[in-house]
Structure 1
Amino acid sequence: MPEPQPRTRQALTKERVVHAAVTIIERDGEAALSMRRVATELGVAPMSLYNHVPNKAALLDGVAEFIMTDMRFASDPDADWQQQTRNLARTFRAITRRYPRSVLLVITRQPKSSVGMHAMELVLASVRDAGFDDPTSVRLVRTFVSFILGAMMREVGVTDMVTEDGISAFKAELAEAKLTNVEQLLPILAVHDHEGDFEFGLELLIGAMSALPRH
């Protein structure tokens, strides 16, 4: 019987360090992230990390860059600006659902290299090509980012009232408090159609964009 071969240790790289950081953030939250925790995740000595990232701030920048780079925007040159906007918004939403905790770093930490700005380039090009002036283009991008992040936070923070008994008991409490509109619409409020809500809001924003002046 042949002797078992020793397992070859995978080389430590900046990419592995960043991926481990993303894993920790998604599993335990950004507050749990530290260089020591990343080292434990990778099974290496903490000091070995500093050959690839000089400090925690650089590690967080790496996470933000990873998230931005992982956005796979499919640009369709034949689509009109409304459909391009839909495609870009849906792609960004997909990344927020894949990395709901890490994606906030994209907003709070500006990527420090051009690699992480490819997605921003595509989005800004889309709205400028549609004929919006430069200040309006930037504001539109920020508005859509806020909308998508808000949708993400609502999606991960709510649960459905799954039982009719629970809804009935709550309606009785609302009736006693004379919250008539909430009571009457509770069966609808209690059901969360995240996909439908997102598409509804997206079309509202596109409709509002269509009413803005353009070149």
Structure 2
Amino acid sequence: MREAPEPVVRAVLTRGRIVHAAVALLERHGPEALSMRAVAAELGVAVMSLYNHVPNKAALMEGVAEYVVAGLDEVPFVDDWRDETRALVRAFRAAAHEYPHAMRVVLSHSIESTAASRLAERSLALAARAGFRGAVAVRIVHALMAYAVGSQLQALWLGQLLDRVADIEVDPARFPHVVASATALLAHDPEADFEFGLDLFISAIDALPRGTG
């Protein structure tokens, strides 16, 4: 007698699997590649099957936003607003490092998601604990977010630049400060640079006059 064939086990399609596939697609090919059809192809399913879990692309983008910033919800609440701010900015930077394309989508699109609202609420609550309200508080949050994301781009650009100029001879008569600081300039340490800049930000924020803005 012939043996019965092994049953084909198919992974159950869920919203979580769909969102994960969308994030993977974004990180491999960039935002322009994201579509419901592309996500369906990524999962090896018919595109119509996605709509049972994600009704449209806007809902898919909401899921991407939730996925990318999920780690920020795990940042612990602490007594000192400075320490908590540092931890939150570090977590935001880590998310931008791990999911650069997805983060770009989150920051550049108007996504109706509680993820963005939770992040804004947490950040503004921190600003309020530090004594800031209104426009000043919002600008502080914007500046810290810009620094967290921008530091990733700066580290990448600087690393590529140093790879090209490490062996170039520099005229000490024309560029005395560059030559004098050559060792420090070539000692590329993105983490130390980030922490130094973050301390500068926190100190500058703490020095601002309190008020409504």
CA distance in 2, matches of 1:130, 1:54: 41
Unaligned 5+ residue runs, structure 1? none
> What is the Cα deviation at residue 200 of structure 1?
0.5
Distance 1:59 1:202, change over 3 A: same
CA displacement 1:47-96 (0-9 Å, x = unmatched): 3223333443443333123212342342334x211111111111212211
Partner letter of residue 209 of structure 1?
A: I
CA contact (8 A) 2:65 2:115 kept: no
CA displacement 1:84-110 (0-9 Å, x = unmatched): 111111121221122122112221124
CA contact (8 A) 1:82 1:206 kept: yes
1:190 paired to 2:186: yes
Which residue of the partner structure matches residue 202 of structure 2?
206
Which residue of the partner structure matches residue 108 of structure 2?
108
What count of residue pairs does the alignment treat as equivalent? Answer: 209
Distance 1:29 1:156, change over 3 A: farther
Q: TM-score, normalised by structure 2?
A: 0.83
> What is the Cα deviation at residue 19 of structure 1?
0.9
CA distance in 1, matches of 2:200, 2:88: 15
1:38 paired to 2:43: no
Task: Give the secondary structure class of the aligned counterpart of 1:72.
Answer: helix
Partner letter of residue 27 of structure 1?
A: R
Distance 1:71 1:20, change over 3 A: same
CA distance in 1, matches of 2:90, 2:104: 17
Distance 1:115 1:82, change over 3 A: closer
Which residue of the partner structure matches residue 65 of structure 2?
64
> What is the Cα deviation at residue 189 of structure 1?
2.2
Unaligned 5+ residue runs, structure 2? none
> What is the Cα deviation at residue 186 of structure 1?
3.5
Task: Give the secondary structure class of the aligned counterpart of 2:13.
Answer: coil
CA contact (8 A) 2:61 2:111 kept: no
Distance 1:95 1:115, change over 3 A: closer
